[in-house]
Chains A and B, each alone.
Chain A
Amino acid sequence: MMGKFSIFDQVKKEGRSILTEFESKKILKQAGISVVETKLAKTQKEAVSLSQKMGFPVALKITSPDVIHKSDSGGVKLSINSVAEVKKAYDEILKKVRKQYPDAIIHGVSVQKMALPGTEVIVGTSKDPQFGPVIMFGLGGIFVELLKDVSFRVIPVEQRDAQEMIKEIKGYPLLQGYRGKEPANISALVEIILKISKLIEENPQIKELELNPIFAYKNKAVAVDARIILE
């Protein structure tokens, strides 16, 4: 299974270690994880036709190995509802990013279908100095950032471990459908955790990985943003 992903070789060849969101999602899709439909537009014209094909609303995001914090640099536009808005957003993104990173290599602008709001969760991996690769699960947003309500396991994880790590977080009731909110599909989340565990196990060159956020719905779970960092 090793060396299955040609993107890794390409990234290494370019002297990079951080994959773009677009590249990361390609890897995840190949690993069998459902990700929000994401296409790369190299021109404004392409961005327009891709948005029309996908159907509005869409999101546009800068795709550049040199821009890690996409929103901070003005490289993200969400909830775009028309062709005119796509054109405007495309130009603005490039203008802002070029201004802040004049030397950045820009692959293009990714066009993504706006996902319906769901319960935000996060799945990530990193490497522990004692145990090697570990996987983390948590609820997105303030739950992970402020409350650090997350659970860990050492990779590889089994089904039972994945189930336990979801139930272990304090915010678990939110996933069960709190106050009329749609419950999250736990088995879809278990599946993501297991697939990520396998991906990391088979590709030790991955140093860190993060799906943040994943939108969890009643019948499925979809990764909306993703990042992979190589050793």
Chain B
Amino acid sequence: MKGEVSGSEKSALSLFFEPQSVAVIGSLREGYFGGYVVVKTLLNAGFGGKIYPVNPSYQEVLGLKVYPSINEIPEKIDLVLIMINRRSVPDVMRECAGKGIKSVIVVADGFAERDEEGAKLQNEILEIAREAGIRILGPNTAGVVNSANGLIPDPYEPGYKKVKPGAVAICAQTGMINPQAFPYADLHYGVSKICDYGNKCDVDECDLLEYLESDPATKVITMYLESIQDGQRFLKISKRVTAQKPVLILKSGRTKEGAKVSASHTGALAVDDQIFSAACKQAGIIRLEKFRELFELPKIFSLQPLPKGNRLGIVTFTGGVGVLAIDEGSKYGLSVARLSPEIAKKLDAIFPGLGKTVVDIGPPMAVNNYMTIYSEIIKTVLSDDHIDCLFNVIWTSPFKEFVEEYLKFYGELRGSHQKTIATWIYGPSIPLINDMSGRMEDLGFPVFSDLETAIKALGIAYQYSNRKKGEE
């Protein structure tokens, strides 16, 4: 029954992410897609559990024994991935039922998303699953990732082996979030879990929210939604989850159902998207506007502490950026912090005229022992009680040595303060910016792609923290 998650159901869901053994049913032909790639990506990521490739035409693949069918596998299987022609999926599902399998990822496509026959097949496999107590993820999905145990059964070649463990869980009704579609490795982007839940014929957004709520590795959940299965259940669960960890949602699909003709104003005005927005406000969900934000904004929650208030400090190399930051901040209720008199005095002593609302470190840059001064300035600003969060702008310079010095400083700074810091790195060299950004995030300092996103990250962190305070 939907809506009532029993103990066994919960554990069935955890099998999608924490299986001891995985059976891979599909083509084992070497290539860019299919069972072969799944086995390869699992091996590359160092998956700790057992891997059972299943295919009647092979004896061995990538050094692993291949079984002609799952019935031939002598041991218990926690998770099955199915990547075969849609018409053969029901038969394989019946085999899974016979073998007592509880969790199946149907990677295969051509179901409800394609045509009537596909919709029928989807219903058929769902019926088999319900009867046998199997949970289905998909169909039409690129599947899951668990960074902690090397579970990367990617049906497409990502070209890199591992995903850095982190605290962001990313879910979507699309494979645009799986390793083959996003440069997690290049960006040093840390995730706990990734889940494409495809057509969500069974496992849906509510199930995932519930699982991730109790997942200790996940500090923040970010989700792309196309529709909601059960609005009341979604509201209830997400309200509970947001009280513990932030939930960020990007939603598409303003459906036709909304503007139905009605005898009253209320019915006619209740357009779906507006209702979804209202539900988000009630549940404390942070609503995203752009696909890019799905990845960027959660970093403020996964890497930084929540701000205690709305006072925004700004460190910049140019006055213009400071003014833009103040404008952006006001959109989210951030107000520019007035430095405390003693801190302003200290800064002025470091460099004349530095102790202003916007700390402009452009002028002191000309000084010889710049990095020493830079360290002092940042430490002094961070010690100010009048600041809750900091928009930290860094200019890389064209020199690698410079970047290394910055990184050395931030390595030392790590963990020495309680402020929320959002960093924006700019400069004349893309490779240097990218290199520094990734390594800053390794150190726990999230770097955002532009000024607006950095400020928005601080803004939503403040709003989340403020709401949470109201509930305590």
Interface residues of A (CB under 8 A from B): 18, 68, 122, 124-132, 134, 136, 138, 144-145, 148, 150-154, 157-158, 160-161, 164-165, 208-210, 212, 227, 229
Neighbouring A residues of B263 by C-beta, 8 Å: 18, 68, 208, 229
A131/B264 contact (C-beta < 8 A), A144-B269, A150-B269 known: no
Q: Which residue of B lies closest to A137 (CB)?
A: B266
Partner of B231, one of A124, A148, A154: A154
Minimum C-beta distance from A179 to chain B (A): 26
Is A134 within 8 A of B265, CB to CB? Answer: no
Neighbouring B residues of A148 by C-beta, 8 Å: 269
Is A122 within 8 A of B265, CB to CB? Answer: yes
B418 within 8 A of A: no
Is A129 within 8 A of B257, CB to CB? Answer: yes
Minimum C-beta distance from B94 to chain A (A): 33
Minimum C-beta distance from A227 to chain B (A): 7
Interface residues of B (CB under 8 A from A): 227-228, 231-232, 235, 257, 262-267, 269-270, 272, 274-279, 281-282, 470
Bound form: Cα–Cα A128–B228 in Å: 12
Is B262 within 8 A of A208, CB to CB? Answer: yes
Is B265 within 8 A of A136, CB to CB? Answer: yes
Is B270 within 8 A of A136, CB to CB? Answer: yes
Is B270 within 8 A of A128, CB to CB? Answer: yes
A134/B282 contact (C-beta < 8 A), A152-B270, A208-B262, A210-B265 known: no
Partner of B267, one of A144, A160, A208: A208
In the assembled complex, 18 residue pairs joining A and B whose CB atoms fall closer than 8 Å, in A order, are A68-B263, A128-B270, A128-B275, A129-B272, A130-B275, A131-B231, A131-B232, A131-B276, A134-B270, A136-B265, A136-B269, A138-B265, A152-B270, A152-B274, A153-B278, A154-B231, A161-B281, A212-B265
Is A160 within 8 A of B470, CB to CB? Answer: yes
Neighbouring A residues of B282 by C-beta, 8 Å: 153-154, 157-158, 161
Is A208 within 8 A of B232, CB to CB? Answer: no
Minimum C-beta distance from B187 to chain A (A): 35
Minimum C-beta distance from A208 to chain B (A): 5
Minimum C-beta distance from B369 to chain A (A): 52
Is A145 within 8 A of B275, CB to CB? Answer: no
Q: Which residue of B lies closest to A210 (CB)?
A: B264
Minimum C-beta distance from A28 to chain B (A): 15
Most chain-B Cβ atoms within 10 A of its Cβ — which of A145, A152, A157? A152
Q: Which residue of A lies closest to B279 (CB)?
A: A154
Besides A136-B265, A150-B265, 8 new A-B residue pairs in contact (Cβ under 8 A), listed by A number:
A18-B263, A122-B265, A126-B262, A128-B270, A129-B257, A130-B228, A153-B278, A154-B279
Bound form: Cα–Cα A202–B269 in Å: 24
Bound form: Cα–Cα A153–B274 in Å: 9
Minimum C-beta distance from B410 to chain A (A): 39
Minimum C-beta distance from A231 to chain B (A): 13
A145/B265 contact (C-beta < 8 A), A130-B275, A134-B275 known: yes
Partner of A153, one of B262, B272, B281: B281
Neighbouring A residues of B278 by C-beta, 8 Å: 134, 151-154, 165
Neighbouring B residues of A151 by C-beta, 8 Å: 278
Bound form: Cα–Cα A164–B279 in Å: 12
Minimum C-beta distance from A207 to chain B (A): 9
Is B231 within 8 A of A144, CB to CB? Answer: no
Minimum C-beta distance from B259 to chain A (A): 11
Minimum C-beta distance from A124 to chain B (A): 3
Neighbouring B residues of A208 by C-beta, 8 Å: 262-264, 266-267
